[in-house]
């Protein structure tokens, strides 16, 4: 079964725009993604000077975290 984010079609929209409660095996994966993103955000925040580039880096990290979590949420279930 393909991941629904790969070349989404009309019939995939319900899957893409529905809340997916985490399964027990997904919870530690979400936690790992979130913890790693938070750790990297702290590295950026404490080492990069306060400027538009730091703000952009933090925003893009939040985006990356969101998309990584979306990949887990949309993982095909059997």
pLDDT in tens, 29-72: 999 999 999 999 999 999 999 999 999 999 999 999 999 999 99
Residue 34 lies in a domain: yes
In sequence order, the 6+-apart residues with CB closer than 8 A to the CB of 11 are none
Residue 76 domain-assigned (yes or no): yes
Query: Do the domain assignments include residue 31?
Result: yes
* Token pair of 37 as six digits: 């993103």
Q: What was the pLDDT predicted at 1?
A: 65
Name the residue among 1, 10, 35, 59 with its Cα closest to residue 74: 1
User: What is the structure's pLDDT at 42?
Assistant: 99
Does residue 49 sit within a domain? Answer: yes
Residue 5 within any structural domain of the chain: no
Q: What is the pLDDT of residue 6?
A: 77
Is 4 part of any domain?
no
Q: Is the C-alpha dihedral spanning 33, 34, 38, 39 positive or negative?
A: negative
Which residue did the predictor score with more confidence, 4 or 22? 22
Q: What is the pLDDT of residue 77?
A: 78
* Number of independent structural domains in the chain: 1
Asked if residue 9 has pLDDT above 70, the reply is yes
Domain assignment present for residue 69? The answer is yes
Q: Is the pLDDT of residue 27 over 80?
A: yes
- Is 6 among the domain residues? no
Containing structural domain, residue 42: 26-78
């Amino acid at each position: 079964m393909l991941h629904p984010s790969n070349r989404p079609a009309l019939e995939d929209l319900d899957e893409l725009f529905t809340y997916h409660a985490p399964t027990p095996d997904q919870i530690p994966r979400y936690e790992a993604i979130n913890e790693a993103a938070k750790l990297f955000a702290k590295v950026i925040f404490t080492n990069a000077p306060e400027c538009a580039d730091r703000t952009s880096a933090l925003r893009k990290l939040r985006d990356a975290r969101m998309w990584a979590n979306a990949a887990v949420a949309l993982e095909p279930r059997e």
